[in-house]
Structures are given as structure tokens and as C-alpha cells.
Amino acid sequence: MSAFDHLDELVPLRIWPGVVGRSMTSELATLSYLELEPDVHVPEHQHVNEQVGVLIRGSLRFRIGEEERDLEPGATWCIRAHVPHQVWAGPGGAGLVEVFAPARDDWDDRERLAPGHPPLFP
């Protein structure tokens, strides 16, 4: 199996309504490129996986624990295990890169999107 791939070749999964993820999983972590549709809200949730990310394009309002911020590209966040978080995409949507550790093996059951959902980046 090749060590190389490309965002537009990775299987797009519907992680939440209005959220598409393209992921690479190693033994210990999952690196995902996630795209949020404009104005989508991901409701508060939590998981054992640590979640560290950087905003690549668009804008987000992110709430982590009791802290809430409006984020522009270049913003970063670090969510410890089991800390509740939720997010709202801005009017132009958002594209972000996040690592989850341990790997997100619970995403195996997410809906696989048909071809025709090309990523907006690059």
C-alpha cells in the first residue's frame, strides 16, 4: 500500500449533518480534513479521543468546555479527552485539519458519500 494519497482521493464520510471528513489513520492517530457547510452547527459532544486542530479556511465559532471563541484561519485548538465541545461554521463554511488520538475507529460506520463531493481545498 502506498504511503501517499490526496485529499480528493480519500473517501469522504459524513461525520455530522453538514460535515464531511477525509481521513488518514495510522496506528495511534487519525488526521482528518473536515469541511463544514455554511452556518452548520455541530451539537455539544465529547469523546475519549483528544482533538487538536487548525483552521485552514473560513470561520468558526468554537466552544470548548466553558470557553467560546470566534476563529479565523490560523487559529488552533486543543481539546483534551472527554471535554465537551461544539462548533458553528460561519457564513462561508470552514475547512480544518484535526488530529484525533487515539484513532477514530468509531467513524467506520459513518455514511460514505458518493463521488461528486470534491473537497473545496486546495
Degrees, nearest 5: CA angle 8-13-16: 130
Q: Which of residues 27, 109, 114, 115 is near a copy of itself by CB under 8 A?
A: 27
Residue placing its CB nearer to a copy of itself in the complex, 17 or 68? 68
Question: Which CA distances in Å does 40 have to 25, 28, 91, 103, 109?
Answer: 25, 29, 9, 25, 21
Binding flag, residue 90, a copy of itself (CB under 8 A): no
Residue placing its CB nearer to a copy of itself in the complex, 90 or 119? 119
Binding flag, residue 26, a copy of itself (CB under 8 A): yes
Residue placing its CB nearer to a copy of itself in the complex, 18 or 73? 73
CB 103 within 8 A of CB 26: yes
Binding flag, residue 31, a copy of itself (CB under 8 A): yes
